[in-house]
Structure 1
Amino acid sequence: MGTTHAPDFQASLFGLDEADDQADDRTDDRSRLRPLGDRVERTVLSRGAWVDVRRDWLADADDVLATMVADVPWREERREMYDRVVAVPRLLCHYGEGRPLPHPTLEAARDALSAHYLPELGEPFRTAGCCFYRDGRDSVAWHGDTIGRGSTHDTVVAIVSLGDPRRLALRPRGGGPSLSFTLGHGDLLAMGGSCQRTWEHAVPKVAHAGPRLSVQFRTRGVL
Structure 2
Amino acid sequence: MEVIKKGTTIQSLEVGMGIIESIAKQGRPIKFSDIQELTQITKSNLYKYLNTFTQLGILYRNKDTGEYVLGSKLIEYGMAAVDQENVIDRISPFLHEINVKSSSTVLFSTWTQNGPMIVKDFNNNRGLNIGAQIGTFLPIRSATGKVFMTFMEEQKIRDWKEKEYKQIPPDKVSYLEVECESIRAKKIAFAREPLVSSVSSVSVPVLNYKKHLLGAVTVVGFSEFIPQNENNELSRYLLDISKEISGSFGYR
What's the TM-score once normalised by structure 1's chain length? 0.28
Higher relative contact order (CA 8 A, sep 6+): 1
Higher strand share: 1
**TM-score between both structures, scaled by the size of structure 2:** 0.26
Give the helix-richer structure, 1 or 2.
Answer: 2
